[in-house]
Amino acid sequence: MKTIEYTYNIKDIDCIAAKVLSNFMFKTVILNGSMGSGKTTFVKALIKAMGSKDIVTSPTFSIVNQYKIPNDKVFHFDFYRIESIEEAYNFGVEDYLYSDHWLFIEWPDRIQSIIPKNSQAITITDLDDNTRSLKLTIETENLTKNIAMTETKF
């Protein structure tokens, strides 16, 4: 397992997002943190760092938002309102999960049993109004030459 930790001020979020992005090994990213910890705000910074010109909004009510990035797309999920995995299946979540596009998943515990194994986790902790702690965890036991991202991402 590889773990990288950052403590940052909100004003530095774009710089931290670029650093975190450079460490991704897979296209699936799960985001953990309490309500209001900054998960969606961090996703906005990541998508900006990926070169998107789209306006990033919270998918709390839509469940999933899609964004264009150069040569790919991002699906951003918020499963907070999902009460069962059956609800996720009803809107076709498996089509997204195995699409080979970028996935940012907030509240992943709601669909934990079907999240791709080749993923990394971000945990954000709210330290005070303007400061966050971020931990990126990559399960390196899942890495093989065939599944790890080997080309420049951006």
CB proximity list for 9: less than 8 A, separation 6 or greater: 130, 131
Note whether 129 and 135 are within 8 A (CB): no
Q: Does the pLDDT value for residue 95 go beyond 60?
A: yes
* Residue environment code for 14-28, b if the CB has 16+ CB neighbours within 10 A, otherwise e: eebbebbbeebbbbb
Cα Rg of the chain, angstroms:
15
Confidence (pLDDT) at 139: 82
* Bridge partners of residue 98, in order along the sequence: none
Note whether 75 and 66 are within 8 A (CB): yes
What band does 59 get if pLDDT is binned at 50, 70 and 90?
A: very high
DSSP secondary-structure letter at 87? H
Q: Does the pLDDT value for residue 146 go beyond 50?
A: no
- Across the range 15-35, mean pLDDT stands at 97
What band does 152 get if pLDDT is binned at 50, 70 and 90?
A: very low
Separation of alpha carbons 70 and 50, rounded Å: 8
Predicted TM-score of the model (pTM): 0.90
Confidence (pLDDT) at 3: 96
Mean pLDDT of the chain: 92
Separation of alpha carbons 92 and 73, rounded Å: 17
